[in-house]
Amino acid sequence: MPFAFDCFKVEEPTMAFVVLLRRYNIELREAQRLIARGRLICNGETVEIKNQKISGEMKVLVFKPESRGHSPIFKTNEFMVFDKPSGILVHPNKVLTPYSMLDEVRTFGGEKANGVHRIDMETSGLFLASTNRENEIKLKTMFERKEIKKSYLAWVRGNTDEKFTVDAPIKIRDDYSTNKHKVEIADDGKKAVTNFTKLLYNRELDASLLHVEPLTGRTHQIRIHLFHMKHPILGDPLYGTTFETAEAYLEDRLTKDERQRLTGANRLMLHADTLKFTLKSRYFIKSRVNFKELSIEITAKELRENEDIYI
């Protein structure tokens, strides 16, 4: 498991946050965060006060990465880029999460390495991580300032226009009783703009492959914009399906065969394809996955085999 207890002994009474600073050579706020999350245990009791003086037997729940061999496709002293498979979280969402991309980030970048942006679990493709705290702040700021440009590829239902732009504000929903969409198009939502270009149309499958450029970075932006245009992404179990299908997916009752039959693919057919930014040098990084040739009718077994080959 990525999270495990680190056990050690403190002889002299020492303030709790100082114990963590000395043990792990971390910043004060990180030590405070560990205490706030109940990760520090002294003599069997959870420590809740950061400046409480403690001594004796210590146990700290810490992240210990376990790689599954998904090494970075590009690495410098400042950052790393991974080709994330579909179905993997970029960061553990709970202590019991068995594996996430953070395992690879820390394995190949060290304890100070961290992801600098989010990708939906089901979206595959390029994932950017920093190698230390200084560059983490720098890269996150660049994302906020839109100095890092991303493009995606998406297989969608139907034959789309050659080029089109969706400028439709997005709002996070607070009521899931009528549908399971996480976001919706709403006049009082936040501005969201996405450019789309059709690369090809497959008549047999009645599906288009699109090049996608989001100009803003809203939650589920590409998915809801394509659903809004009546061209939902193949394999999307939330946008473009029935309430029952979406509920079955969220409750982990939807099998891959059922998903294939109901949505056209057994995974979300959205792929983060390129990253473009300047950090000392100018970088244009493209995914190694040939998403154009990735069949949308592959079985779950074949999908796993393809991901092992591509990464």
Q: Catalytic site residues?
A: 120
Distance CA 83, CA 128 (A): 9
Structure tokens at 70: 């998904």
End-to-end CA distance of the chain: 22
Contact in structure between 59 and 41 (CB atoms under 8 Å): yes
Amino acid at 202: N
Dist CA 129 CA 115 (whole Å): 4
211 near 161, Cβ under 8 Å? no
CA distance 24 to 300: 42
Per this entry, what is the length of the chain? 311
Phi, psi of 307, rounded to the nearest 5 degrees: -65, -35
Cβ neighbour number for residue 299 with a 10 Å cutoff: 13
How far apart, in whole angstroms, are the C-alpha atoms of residue 7 and residue 241?
49
227 vs 229: CA distance, rounded Å: 5
